[in-house]
Structure 1
Amino acid sequence: MRGWLLAWECACLLSVAAAQGMPTAAVPASTVATTDFLAEAKRVVNAAAQPGAPWNGPRDGPRAQAGKHIAVVAEDLRNGGIVGVVDGVLEAAKVIGWGVKIFDSAGTPDLRLKMLANALASRPDGMILVGSDARALLPGLRPFAERNIPVVGWHVAAQAGPVPGTPLAMNVATDPVEVARVTALAAIVQSGGHAGVVIFTDSNFRIAQAKADEMAAVVRECSGCTLLDMRDVPISRSQELMPATTRALLAQHGKRWTYALAVNDIYFDYAAPVLTQAGMPNAGMAMLSAGDGSESAFLRIRTGTFQTGTVAEPLNLHGWQLVDEMNRLLAGGGVTGYVVPVHLVTAENITADGGDRLIYDPANGYRDIYRHIWQRP
């Protein structure tokens, strides 16, 4: 769904009308384009907001390679998305029979390579990288490849799947471009095609910048919408920077700013209190996030406190998938490349698929399926 496609659709509709002897001047091309755009946006958003679909991932594979020791290097355990994935890894590791040691980089550049070195020194059978940029950490990852230690990761590159040019055999993630597209389209639908948008991203991570660029592209396609600003705020410094950034944006854009889009819910943890302090009514600003579906995001959506949507990651499921992909590598096989479908959480569907527990946990039986694959009780 791009501008050229909409123009083509408009031309076709007008040509048909003319052939049928109908007056074409009464339907301006811009009106037709806007109507078509919103109709397609609603279709995409409604599909993404449906309850979790049945499992469409792998159903067979190698049995458990028991007794392995796995190092987990986390970008920042203050980030709810990363914590959710690590919790899933720990849950799955207990089932498959592995020991896990966690190394936290605390979102600090100086600690990232150090934690990789410490993980390597622990002599693991495999390493799971959670939330860091694989290409930026290539010097610290090469020694794992040199020692034939398999590596998989979560949100470590701009696309799901293997990460060429790195030791990462698999980047577990939903499709970041589709996540971003659904997020931006949801804002457009909620605004009736008249959103004044500010986007928050972190250019330190390719996956974050890819999401932000796609959201910006979608907003620009909406003729009645305005992309007011894109702010580059490091996720690790969001607590420090977001309050002042939010106040500055309010002062600059005033009532024109009606929608905040972000690559991660954590930005809104520190923006929402500023909006409240500024006397902004909940209906005055809508927040939508292209990941990860944190507890605080679910609470804001449930209570109607600014946030109206999050394209939530199935964090616990992704932890199980990381363990399964690692198990396949340890058994001498290849990864599945499985990508979980995108899911938009809103006030209308928040009680389904784990929402009552403030998480997105698809009710598709994935735990039992992985147990069956691993031949574990």
Structure 2
Amino acid sequence: MRSFLLALSCACLLPVAAAQDVVPPPLPVAAAAAKEFLTAAKGVVDAAQRPATAWKGPRNGPRAQREKRVAVVAEDLHNGGILGVIDGVLEAARVIGWHVKVFDSRGTADLRLKMLANALSSHPDGLIIAGGDAHALLPALGPFAERNIPIVGWHVAAQAGPVPGTPVAMNVSSNPLEVARVTALAAIVQSGGRAGVVIFTDSSFQIAREKAEAMAAVVRACSGCTLLEVRDMAISRCQELMPGATRALLARYGKRWTYALAINDIYFDYAAPVLTQVGLPNAAMAMLSAGDGSESAFLRIRTGTFQTGTVAEPLNLQGWQLVDELNRLFAGENVTGYESPVHLVTADNFAEDGGDRLFYDPANGYRDIYRRIWQSP
């Protein structure tokens, strides 16, 4: 499987001009290569759909640093992923004994800076950023660093771990490039290698740009698939723009558009109603998201309403991880660097690991493990 992913990465990074200069192989060879590609893709997708494995995160660490005041600055509480993470933070905070205050930026640049300033004025012991871009927020994060207020974030950079060049000590996330690749491969497998794809992204965030580029590269590597368009649309303006964009794309591509991929489920919250209104059958369009596994996404998958997959983050678990990482910083210790495994939710595995409650919650005992680390009841 590792060799397949390496080969796929190489194929995806082949320059367009070079790809055009390559003489196509004879038809039987091309057909065999396409079959091999599809078989390997199915192996990756099947592995991503397996139930949650045993806990591979930290098992040791500092006991609870109690009575801390923590500010949480959310990019947009209308985003189901962000809301799920904050629910996890609040749940963990009750266990560890912290006081949490949430500030909502509502997806706008001006409010991001204002909410960070308000968070600083609340005199927190620590800061959690839920969504956003750590580098874009850097000017507003400086005053926190100057006051030695530790900072952790969720989906604030393209990779999990410390964010270089910023005071963010830990970005909690799955591997976004693997999330993107699994999403695109799932579309390829579901289509039998014949997907006509439109990708939705928000170029104002580095993590979103890199996810979209990774999905596009995988689609291009599929000889029978067509990348119709990469549509750049601000997540904060989905409600306003997505209905019109969906109608325009249907008019432009017609039956050629069979798969919609997105860097976040929220795009489909506003696309699915339009598809229903125009009378498109559920089987005519499949939607798959490279994050985050929102409640509405789970509902669409359960009911078979266009969406056929989401690479769901373990949002509640990641909320607990944010609290644990911050607790380690309060205690003067290093962060764990733990990265959540990639997990694809489809109709086949929907009921496992929390799906019956409309979110992905791994049954790996993480709550009890963190309680033992913190020595909290």
1:31 deviation in Å? 1.3
Q: Does 2:313 correspond to 1:313?
A: yes
1:29 deviation in Å? 1.9
- Which residue number corresponds to residue 15 of structure 1? none
Q: Does 2:286 correspond to 1:289?
A: no
1:5 deviation in Å? 6.5
- Which residue number corresponds to residue 253 of structure 2? 253
C-alpha distance in 1, partners of 2:183/2:258? 15
Would you identify which runs of 4 or more consecutive aligned residues in structure 1 move more than 3 Å?
1-7
TM-score, normalization by structure 1: 0.94
> Aligned-residue CA RMSD in angstroms?
1.4
C-alpha distance in 2, partners of 1:369/1:307? 34
C-alpha distance in 1, partners of 2:306/2:8? 30
Q: What's the CA shift string for 1:310-368, capped at 9, x where partnerless?
A: 00010000000000000000000110000010000000100000001000000000000
Letter of the 1:268 counterpart: F
Does the residue aligned with 1:170 lie in a helix, a strand or coil?
strand
Instruction: Provide closer, same or farther for how the CA distance between residues 26 and 332 of structure 1 changes in structure 2, counting only shifts above 3 A.
Output: closer
Percent identical among aligned pairs is 75
Letter of the 2:243 counterpart: P
Greater C-alpha Rg: 1
- Which residue number corresponds to residue 355 of structure 1? 355
Letter of the 2:259 counterpart: Y
C-alpha distance in 1, partners of 2:91/2:79? 18
C-alpha distance in 2, partners of 1:149/1:95? 22
- Which residue number corresponds to residue 346 of structure 1? 346
Q: What's the CA shift string for 1:289-315, capped at 9, x where partnerless?
A: 000101110011001100000000100
User: How does 1:318-337 map onto structure 2 within 5 Å?
Assistant: 318-337=318-337
Instruction: Provide closer, same or farther for how the CA distance between residues 330 and 5 of structure 1 changes in structure 2, counting only shifts above 3 A.
Output: closer
1:178 deviation in Å? 0.2
Letter of the 1:104 counterpart: D
C-alpha distance in 1, partners of 2:173/2:312? 11
CA contact under 8 A between 1:197 and 1:229: conserved in structure 2?
yes
User: How does 1:150-165 map onto structure 2 within 5 Å?
Assistant: 150-165=150-165
Does the residue aligned with 2:267 lie in a helix, a strand or coil?
helix
User: How does 1:56-95 map onto structure 2 within 5 Å?
Assistant: 56-95=56-95
Q: Does 2:244 correspond to 1:244?
A: yes
CA contact under 8 A between 1:6 and 1:37: conserved in structure 2?
no
Instruction: Provide closer, same or farther for how the CA distance between residues 79 and 33 of structure 1 changes in structure 2, counting only shifts above 3 A.
Output: same
User: How does 1:33-72 map onto structure 2 within 5 Å?
Assistant: 33-72=33-72
TM-score, normalization by structure 2: 0.94
Q: Does 2:132 correspond to 1:132?
A: yes
Does the residue aligned with 2:103 lie in a helix, a strand or coil?
strand
Letter of the 1:65 counterpart: Q
Q: Which runs of 5 or more residues in structure 1 are unaligned?
A: 8-24
Q: How many pairs were matched up?
A: 360
Q: What's the CA shift string for 1:203-245, capped at 9, x where partnerless?
A: 1111111100000000000000000001011001000000000
1:108 deviation in Å? 1.2
- Which residue number corresponds to residue 219 of structure 1? 219
Does the residue aligned with 1:348 lie in a helix, a strand or coil?
coil
1:32 deviation in Å? 1.8
- Which residue number corresponds to residue 232 of structure 1? 232
- Which residue number corresponds to residue 168 of structure 2? 168
- Which residue number corresponds to residue 16 of structure 2? none
Instruction: Provide closer, same or farther for how the CA distance between residues 265 and 4 of structure 1 changes in structure 2, counting only shifts above 3 A.
Output: closer
1:28 deviation in Å? 2.2
1:278 deviation in Å? 1.2
CA contact under 8 A between 1:6 and 1:36: conserved in structure 2?
no
C-alpha distance in 2, partners of 1:48/1:96? 32
C-alpha distance in 1, partners of 2:11/2:187? 19
- Which residue number corresponds to residue 108 of structure 2? 108
